[in-house]
Amino acid sequence: MIKSLILSALLMVFSLTANASFIVQTATGNVDPMLGYGTNGISNDIYLHHNFELTETTEIASLGGFFATSGQPVNLFAAFVALSSESDMPDTIDLSGDDVIATTTLALTSEFGYSMADFSLTLEAGWYSLAFGTGKFGASSVEEFSETSVGMVDLPVDLHNDLPFSALQPTFWGLKNEFIFQATNPAFLISSDSAAVAMQQLTASVPEPGTLGLFILLALPLCLRRKS
């Protein structure tokens, strides 16, 4: 009985971390900005990618992620890149190749949190990369080491087998023209629902770890009493 209760509670929490309407959701979890957090930087010099697979023809309605930004308001670009396999990479660092099949812009509506944008796209089954960046495709310009900065927050729960990777542009101050894998958990999101509906799902209340622990502590004595 006790094991069943604990298992049910855990399954309830983890089932809420990934919502069924999200075609792609690479990470989830709560981060307190007051306690510090890590990010993968995004700028004119660094684009951040994540590969994903579709097993059937899919209608996309919105996309987004979990971002942190400071300074001026930022519009990112979002680019879809067609890949030949899970291990394939984009043909070009700067997304100038024919494998870039669609682009749009994403206005960051929060300085720390989720942002989503409506974008209608039909993709066939196969492997793709979603990239976020600035400085092209109608996005804002964000220079490295400027007063405006933006990045994708490293969340505590990884929901995807593949690692994100940064595309270091020819203008980057350090390494150049490189794809660098990142051992982090940014939340890339692609949904079959509108941006408004997706945001409602993302901001819906999920039991905090402390709530779950309190629930188990209160329930265990009842289970033991019944067993005795």
Give the span between the Cα atoms of 111 and 146, in whole angstroms: 16
pLDDT digits over 103-126, tens only? 999 999 889 999 999 999 999 999
SS3 33: helix
What global pTM score does this model have? 0.82
d(CA 45, CA 171): 6
Q: Which residues contact 227 (CB under 8 A, 6 or more apart)?
A: 1, 2
**What integer pLDDT is reported at residue 221 of this predicted model?**
41
**pLDDT value of residue 90:** 98
Q: What is the pLDDT of residue 16?
A: 44
Question: Which tens digits make up the pLDDT trace of 83-92?
Answer: 999 999 999 9
- Neighbouring C-beta atoms of residue 37, cutoff 10 Å: 15
Beta bridge partners of 190: 24, 63
pLDDT of residue 226: 42
Q: Where are the beta strands (DSSP E) in the chain?
A: 22-25, 27-28, 39-42, 46-54, 58-70, 75-83, 100-107, 112-123, 126-133, 149-153, 157-158, 165-168, 178-181, 188-191
224/134 Cα distance (integer angstroms): 58
Q: Cα–Cα–Cα angle for 150, 154, 158, nearest 5°?
A: 140
Helices (H), the chain: 2-17, 195-203, 209-227
Distance (Å, whole) CA 124 – CA 81: 12
Print pLDDT tens along the chain (228 aa).
444 444 344 334 444 445 658 999 999 999 998 888 999 999 999 999 999 999 999 999 999 999 999 999 999 999 999 999 999 999 999 999 999 999 999 999 889 999 999 999 999 999 999 999 999 999 999 998 888 999 999 999 999 999 999 999 988 877 788 999 999 999 999 999 999 999 999 988 444 444 444 343 344 343 434 444
Measured in whole angstroms, the distance separating CA 53 from the mean position of its chain's CA atoms is: 15
Q: Is 200 exposed, middle or buried (0-12, 13-18, 19+ CB in 10 A)?
A: exposed
The dihedral built from the CA positions of residue 137, 89, 114 and 55, taken in this order, carries a sign that is positive
